[in-house]
Chain A
């Protein structure tokens, strides 16, 4: 019994987690945070994927368990199958052939445990002419249009500086697991979910893709044109250097006439703002380039954070363009809500990781344990779950089925 986890929503759900890199671990992180018992099955390769307790891998793998099983050995596969038989959900993010080669595809695992849920988060899906494409988040962003449409001011296709596709694939995978589990709770039926990370990231393109479908319109890079209700000014504006950085920007968005009036008052009602060419939203959008240049002249002399507070006080949507330090160490809101979580590392140190973006009133979750070193949970997983004696575990080590 563990009072810290007993009330968590997913307590009692066991996830056998074959995922690696980013997208899959994002999915299982979400499940682990809500109380599922997530057991990573991993290869033990020293230094592979970088530090484990801290950094990206520390952030992705907190609240999980790890056992180092060698899936190249038949005895290793047999061990993994025994674990699946005691599990509820199996998740992988390999291409379709890997789990099949191991005899761990859905039909095989269903024969082992009839109500098993298998979520396979491959790059392009298990079917179709390109199912064997090798991909990573950035290549999926290129194929789906993000890279080309996220142009900078000079028209260069910059795209995301990171793998948003992995994050989107991750939250999609977690939701799929929960929905499949819900169905099983009600009917006793497991199932296979074929999640193509490509399709996951295509499906969050949003209404713009429906515009292509319905109106046949080609995309244009939106740059800072509002992608929701029209707004002007709408964009990012350079601010004065402050103690933290010389590269400070503020995002400002004025949708309504009232917000525009409040903005002009906040600017001290400069003469140019009463020019007829800025008097309606339509005209401000039409003359956005000039308007943005005017606004930039004003913001250039101001500190971003102070400006955010004064504009928000005046009722104008505005926010600092947070860099890593501002986001993690200065942002008062995330701090006040306890978003960043501190986890203890066994050597007495500690690190901070992303927290959980929602708070639940009755079953509040929190990040509990740091990421395990590879193979760290062998005693619990092999000893307690599978009931293997110390001698049996030693034998598995000698035959190369597990790493010590």
Chain B
């Protein structure tokens, strides 16, 4: 299985919920055998929409699909002693276990770090939790929005005097998932040297703070509290502008002479042709006026024309587009960003957003569509773990698998 992937040969038990599910997927996409261990009732995220054709069903959740592509599903009730024992057996032949339950939960199930470590000293446990396993907020509850708030990702978006604007997508979870995968890879390197696994305690709040660009450094360097600046980027070299048929992103970090020759040629430079504007710190310090003039300049341009001319002059302009425009994006299409995934049970294939990177030697790949609930329970417990079929039947009858 998973021949040729960079991470082939690694087995990951993924007990995480939707807060941590991307972490295991990042490893699965590169060839690790990631087993999603979910309750026989189904992972709760199977009930989160949107659903395919808007038909709510545990095997049609696009939310679940996005985060669980390339994984196998083992339906196992780890909260019951025999289920927990089976998980412990699986852990003996696994490299990584990912968990995102409330701190202390797996300990109560008898599957805490000490138990896992004794069962398999080489195992790496990656615990993703909202605030980490220690500290005064350890038991606080949070969703992605609360984490974006407490991680500093929210306050700086939008306009002063109005409510902060929330990120698009679950970026606290996503940041945590990437840092989780990075931590797991680091622990694998450490295991190569020392022979033993370790426990990773990842705080999603801290991962969120790590994914904010400027707030902490402005505070620590100058005791400056970064404000909300509307559509002006904190660096003051970018601002959203309105062209004839839509919005664009201005950028004043390209070659200034080139930009101002163009604007002057259109008769719209006003005072920007003055030599003081050649200094980029001057442009930063007078950004609002600068962009007001540029807004006047672009208002009769169509976005696509403006973009084409700007890029031909190597000016880093962009159009402000809807995400659905990505489906028609020539660059993404040429690079094969979207991947067709066969869903034989539905008799159709579905395009998925694809790889964040193109590996020359060991490509990101579709190994399998997201699993149906418990789809691989038999092969994992019987073929991989060697459990006899009559034992599986008994476990199924008791609702443990």
CA distance A144 to B174 in the complex (A): 16
Contact string, A194-218, partner B, CB cutoff 8 A, digits 1/0? 1110111011111111111111011
| Residues from chain B with Cβ under 8 Å of A148 in the complex | 247, 320-323
**Taking the nearest CB of chain A, how far is it from the CB of B17, in angstroms?**
10
Whether B168 pairs with A332 at a CB distance below 8 angstroms is no
Q: With an 8 A cutoff between CB atoms, is A353 at the interface?
A: yes
Whether A191 pairs with B334 at a CB distance below 8 angstroms is no
Q: With an 8 A cutoff between CB atoms, is A46 at the interface?
A: no
Contact string, B123-149, partner A, CB cutoff 8 A, digits 1/0? 000000001101111001111111111
Q: With an 8 A cutoff between CB atoms, is B182 at the interface?
A: yes
Contact of A133 among B50, B148, B198, B311 (CB under 8 A): B311
Whether B48 pairs with A143 at a CB distance below 8 angstroms is no
Whether A194 pairs with B358 at a CB distance below 8 angstroms is yes
**Among listed A67-75, A335-343, A393-401, interface-contacting one:** A335-343
A-B contact pairs, 29 of them (CB 8 A): A56-B213, A58-B217, A143-B319, A150-B168, A154-B162, A157-B231, A158-B230, A161-B233, A168-B211, A191-B361, A204-B356, A207-B63, A210-B350, A212-B324, A219-B324, A224-B166, A231-B143, A236-B145, A322-B152, A324-B215, A327-B152, A329-B219, A337-B206, A339-B206, A351-B220, A357-B202, A358-B180, A358-B202, A361-B198
**Taking the nearest CB of chain B, how far is it from the CB of A116, in angstroms?**
12
- Say whether, besides A319-B149, A324-B218, A213 and B338 are in contact (CB < 8 Å): yes
CA distance A261 to B145 in the complex (A): 20
- Say whether, besides A142-B249, A234-B145, A358-B201, A328 and B220 are in contact (CB < 8 Å): yes
| Residues from chain A with Cβ under 8 Å of B50 in the complex | 207-208, 211, 215, 217
- Say whether, besides A128-B330, A198-B331, A362-B194, A354 and B216 are in contact (CB < 8 Å): yes
Whether B217 pairs with A54 at a CB distance below 8 angstroms is yes
- Say whether, besides A148-B247, A215-B54, A249 and B163 are in contact (CB < 8 Å): yes
Q: Rank and list the top 9 A-B pairs by shortest CB-CB distance, nearest first.
A: A145-B323, A191-B361, A139-B318, A357-B206, A251-B149, A362-B198, A128-B334, A178-B185, A358-B202
Contact of A199 among B148, B179, B206, B355 (CB under 8 A): B355
| Interface positions of A from 292 to 328, Cβ below 8 Å from B | 312, 315-325, 327-328
Whether B52 pairs with A214 at a CB distance below 8 angstroms is yes
| Residues from chain B with Cβ under 8 Å of A10 in the complex | 186, 189
Whether A360 pairs with B200 at a CB distance below 8 angstroms is yes
Whether B362 pairs with A183 at a CB distance below 8 angstroms is yes
**Among listed A169-177, A274-282, A373-381, interface-contacting one:** A169-177
| Known interface pairs A138-B251, A193-B360, A317-B142; 8 further A-B residue pairs with C-beta atoms within 8 A, sorted by A's residue number | A157-B320, A159-B165, A183-B6, A191-B360, A192-B359, A236-B154, A316-B141, A339-B203
Q: A145's closest neighbor in chain B, by CB? A: B323
Q: With an 8 A cutoff between CB atoms, is A51 at the interface?
A: yes
| Residues from chain B with Cβ under 8 Å of A199 in the complex | 332, 335, 337, 354-357
**Taking the nearest CB of chain A, how far is it from the CB of B104, in angstroms?**
16
The interface size of chain B toward A, counting residues with CB under 8 Å, comes to 153
Whether A125 pairs with B335 at a CB distance below 8 angstroms is yes
CA distance A352 to B154 in the complex (A): 22
| Residues from chain A with Cβ under 8 Å of B203 in the complex | 333, 337, 339, 357-358
Q: With an 8 A cutoff between CB atoms, is B2 at the interface?
A: no
Whether A333 pairs with B155 at a CB distance below 8 angstroms is no
CA distance A198 to B319 in the complex (A): 13
**Taking the nearest CB of chain A, how far is it from the CB of B64, in angstroms?**
8
Whether A332 pairs with B137 at a CB distance below 8 angstroms is yes
| Interface positions of A from 253 to 292, Cβ below 8 Å from B | 253, 255
CA distance A236 to B395 in the complex (A): 46
Q: Which of B159, B160, B338 has the most CB of A within 10 A?
A: B159
Whether B210 pairs with A354 at a CB distance below 8 angstroms is yes
Q: With an 8 A cutoff between CB atoms, is A2 at the interface?
A: no
Contact string, A38-82, partner B, CB cutoff 8 A, digits 1/0? 000000000000010011101100000000000000000000000
Q: A167's closest neighbor in chain B, by CB? A: B211
| Interface positions of B from 147 to 196, Cβ below 8 Å from A | 147-160, 162-171, 174-176, 178-183, 185-190, 192-194, 196
